[in-house]
Amino acid sequence: MFKTGQKWYREEEIAESYDESRFTGGGKVLDFREKKMLLSLVDPKDKKILDIATGTGRFAEFLSSKEGQVIGLDASREMLMQNEVESIQGDALNLPFKAKAFDITISMRFFHLLDQKKIKDFVLEVERVTKDKFVFESLHPLSLRILYQWALPQGSSLYSNSLLKKKFSDLAVIKEVNFYPKFIIPYGFYQSLPLDIGEKVNELDEKISENQKLLASTVYWELYFED
Q: Is 126 within 8 Å of 100 (Cβ atoms)?
A: no
Query: CA-to-CA distance for 46 and 104, rounded, in angstroms?
Result: 11
Q: Which fold has domain 5-225?
A: Rossmann fold (3.40.50)
Q: Is 140 exposed, middle or buried (0-12, 13-18, 19+ CB in 10 A)?
A: buried
Single pTM value for the model: 0.87
Q: How buried is 208 (Cβ within 10 angstroms: 0-12 exposed, 13-18 middle, 19+ buried)?
A: middle
CA–CA separation, 116 and 100 (whole Å): 25
Domain ranges for the chain, please list them: 5-225
Q: Which amino acid is at 183?
A: F
Q: What is the pLDDT along the chain (227 residues), one digit of tens a residue?
A: 444 445 544 455 544 444 454 566 788 888 999 999 999 999 999 999 999 999 889 999 999 999 999 999 998 888 888 778 899 999 999 999 999 999 999 999 899 889 999 999 999 999 999 999 999 999 998 887 776 665 555 567 889 999 999 999 999 999 999 999 999 988 878 888 899 999 999 999 998 888 888 889 999 999 999 98
Which pLDDT does position 17 carry in this prediction?
Answer: 47
pLDDT at position 37, please?
96
